[in-house]
Amino acid sequence: MSKLKDVETPYLKKRKPFAVGDEVNVGVVITETIEKKGKLEEKERVQLFTGRVIAKNGGGVTETFTVRRIVAGEGVERVFPLHSPKVSHVEVVRSSHVRRAKLYYLRDRKGKATRLREKINAPSAANEAATAPDAAATK
């Protein structure tokens, strides 16, 4: 198995930890073709997908997480490979207290019923992210 790990290791990214139930901003790298002075140019930029992590699946390179949000009254879910180079970053906005690993029950609910108990002062990535700029400032 270690030979498989050797193959996978270069592709693994060190990401800030986040948990199921967290509200996250996922940076998605997209390629746009824009016309500039009559020429078509390909440009990469980061688009944010904001929502709540409702599941994590798999392990190693193939690990994925599912983010759910409501767009124009319609539930939208995107599955991101955790280690994909097209996912530039995952920023935790707030964390929630959850009692299960998969929050699929949220699919059957809407509005107020989808609220989760927020984790306040949780020693989680949310606080880390909040204090990160301060830490950078003191340096």
Partner 1 sequence: MSVNALIGRKVGMTSIFDATGSMLGVSVIELGPNQVVARRTIVRDGYEAVALGFGKRKPSRVGKPQLMALKKSGIEIAPQVVSEVEIADGADPQVGEMVSVADVFQVGAVVDVVGTSLGKGFAGVHKRHHHDLGPKSHGTKNIREHKSTGSNTHPSRRWPGTSMAGHMGAVRRTVRNLTVVGIDAERGIMLVNGPVPGCASGVLLVRRTRAKHATKPAGK
Binding site for partner 1 (CB under 8 A): 1, 3-4, 6-8, 11, 29, 60-62, 81, 83-86
Residue whose pair of structure tokens reads 């500039």 in the numeric block: 36
User: 23-38 burial string, b = 16+ CB within 10 Å, else e?
Assistant: bbebbbeeeeeeeeee
Measured CA to CA, the distance from residue 64 to residue 34 in angstroms comes to 31
* Closest separation in Å from C-beta 6 to partner 1: 6
* Closest separation in Å from C-beta 62 to partner 1: 5
Toward partner 1, which CB reaches closer, 7 or 120?
7
Cβ 56 vs Cβ 65: under 8 Å:
yes
* Closest separation in Å from C-beta 70 to partner 1: 28
Toward partner 1, which CB reaches closer, 43 or 110?
43
Toward partner 1, which CB reaches closer, 60 or 75?
60
* Closest separation in Å from C-beta 92 to partner 1: 23
Cβ 20 vs Cβ 82: under 8 Å:
no
Toward partner 1, which CB reaches closer, 1 or 137?
1
Cβ 73 vs Cβ 90: under 8 Å:
no
